[in-house]
């Protein structure tokens, strides 16, 4: 079924189904897709059903604060902050690493979201990366905090001005740390 934006649902509840170009485009798309076929008299009810589904989906929220640790390290990742930018902080022994905004890369995978930051870059030698695997999590009114275990990966991506064929052996050796995490939604 084609995606229907929430604003569209709200504006169409009190309107006849055949008014406006946006409605005609959406309705035509449904017919073309062959997924929905309904008579004129049922349109208002269908819109109410879509609005109900959209409001149910809005109940579940993704966490915006992930705090992880083990006996050797502490990691904090926020998807937003007071200035609206994500933050990533790692403390491992005496080493402290802080990154924010565009210095943080995220990639959705089947495992979850890979949150990666560059720890150190040495030209013609290596790039040291730190990646936190964050599983997909839904928070609700009943479940406001979720605890889980995941992996923090430290990778050394070996580089060469002459290209990857000049790197000998494993090109990206990694070490893995198991961490216990707490995920929650907070207001910044």
pLDDT value, residue 174:
97
Residue 122 burial class via C-beta count within 10 angstroms: exposed 0-12, middle 13-18, buried 19 and up:
exposed
DSSP class of residue 9 equals H
Residue 176 burial (CB count, 10 A): 12
Q: Identify the CA nearest to 115 among candidates 188, 183, 163, 186.
A: 183
Q: What is the mean pLDDT of residues 94-101?
A: 97
Q: Where exactly are the structural domains of the chain?
A: 6-59, 65-184
CB-CB contact of 174 with 154 (8 Å): yes
Residue with tokens 């080493």: 95
Task: Collapse the DSSP code of 172 into the 3-class scheme (helix H, G, I; strand E, B; otherwise coil) and give the result.
Answer: coil
pTM for this prediction = 0.68
Kindly report which listed range (26-40, 51-65, 66-80, 82-96) carries the lowest average pLDDT score: 26-40
* pLDDT tens digits along 54-76: 555 557 899 999 999 999 999 99
CA distance 181 to 145: 10
pLDDT value, residue 60:
87
pLDDT value, residue 56:
53
Starting at the edge strand found earlier in the chain, the sheet holding 145-158 runs 95-100, 87-92, 73-78, 65-69, 174-184, 145-158, 126-134, 112-122, 104-109
Mean pLDDT of all residues belonging to the chain: 80
pLDDT value, residue 57:
52
* Topology (CATH level 3) of domain 65-184: Lipocalin (2.40.128)
Kindly report which listed range (21-35, 80-94, 136-150) carries the lowest average pLDDT score: 21-35
* pLDDT tens digits along 110-154: 999 999 999 999 998 999 999 999 999 999 999 999 999 999 999
pLDDT value, residue 93:
93
């Amino acid at each position: 079924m084609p995606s229907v934006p929430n604003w569209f649902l709200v504006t169409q509840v009190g309107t006849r189904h055949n008014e406006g170009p946006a409605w005609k485009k959406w309705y035509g798309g449904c017919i073309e897709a062959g997924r929905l076929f309904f008579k004129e008299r049922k349109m208002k009810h269908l819109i109410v059903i879509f609005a109900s589904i959209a409001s149910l989906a809005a109940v579940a929220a993704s966490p915006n604060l992930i705090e992880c640790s083990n006996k050797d390290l502490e990691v904090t990742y926020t998807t937003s902050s007071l200035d609206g930018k994500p933050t990533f902080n790692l403390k491992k022994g005496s080493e402290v690493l802080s990154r924010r905004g565009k210095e943080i890369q995220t990639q959705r995978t089947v495992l979850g979201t890979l949150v990666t930051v560059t720890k150190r870059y040495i030209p013609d030698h290596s790039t040291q990366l730190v990646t936190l695997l964050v599983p997909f999590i839904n928070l609700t009114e009943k479940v406001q905090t979720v605890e889980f275990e995941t992996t923090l990966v430290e990778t050394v991506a070996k580089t060469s001005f002459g290209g990857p064929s000049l790197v000998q052996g494993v090109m990206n050796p990694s070490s893995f740390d198991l961490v216990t995490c707490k995920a929650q939604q907070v207001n910044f």
